Structure 1
Amino acid sequence: MPNIKSAKKRVLVSQAKAAQNKAARSALKTDIKKFEAAVAEGNRSEADAAYKVAVKAVDKAAARGLLHRNNAANKKSKMTIKLSKLA
């Protein structure tokens, strides 16, 4: 346990940021799963709407540093391929 005041603050701040990151990562996974569920059902209109939400979430996660930009590009590419095969 830190003794210095600034170190104590850093512990609190890093715990808060970790919680925010965990929540954001969980929301991202939920959006991707909703898209994959719509694709599995074969519902094109629902898949289109879920695709837009999921891609936006992936882009935001990459911008915030939750995902590496290459990882985000791979996720978007795979979702685009799944959506185009649905047509």
Structure 2
Amino acid sequence: MPNIKSSERSVITDALRKAQNTSVKSAVRTAARKVNEATANPSTTDAQDLLKKASSVIDKAASKGVLHKNAAARKKSRLARKVNAISK
């Protein structure tokens, strides 16, 4: 445990930030997993709806700084490629 008062406060805020970031990352992974499952069983309407929701979740994570904007774009692109592959 730190001895300096500001260090003690930063330990607390770091723990809070980590918990929030973990929650957001988990939501991103869950949304991506749902899209991947939908593309495994080709049902394009479900996959397209889930892709919209996943894109929204990924964009929110990027705007909060949990994901880098390029990482978010890469994730969205890969999911879109999978959905487009089954819709053809």
Same fold (TM over 0.5): yes
Instruction: State TM-score, norm by structure 2.
Output: 0.91
2:78 counterpart of 1:75 = no
Structure with the larger RCO, 1 or 2 (CA within 8 Å, 6+ apart): 2
**C-alpha RMSD of the superposition:** 1.0
Shift of 1:19: 0.9
Q: CA-to-partner distance for each residue in 1:14-69, whole Å, 9 max, x for gaps?
A: 11110111111011100100011011110111101110111011111111111111
- The sequence identity of aligned pairs, in percent, is 38
Letter in 1 for 2:46: E
What CA distance in whole angstroms lies between the structure 1 residues aligned with 2:81 and 2:24?
Answer: 25
Instruction: Tell me the equivalent position of 1:4.
Output: 4
Instruction: Tell me the equivalent position of 2:16.
Output: 16
What CA distance in whole angstroms lies between the structure 2 residues aligned with 1:11 and 1:68?
Answer: 24
Shift of 1:4: 2.2
Shift of 1:5: 2.1
Instruction: State TM-score, norm by structure 1.
Output: 0.92
Letter in 1 for 2:13: V
What CA distance in whole angstroms lies between the structure 2 residues aligned with 1:9 and 1:70?
Answer: 32
Instruction: Tell me the equivalent position of 1:36.
Output: 36
Q: Which 4+ stretches in 1 moved above 2 angstroms?
A: none
How many residues are treated as equivalent by the alignment? 87
Instruction: Tell me the equivalent position of 1:66.
Output: 66
Query: Gapped runs of 5+ residues in structure 1?
Result: none
Letter in 2 for 1:23: S
What CA distance in whole angstroms lies between the structure 1 residues aligned with 2:8 and 2:64?
Answer: 25
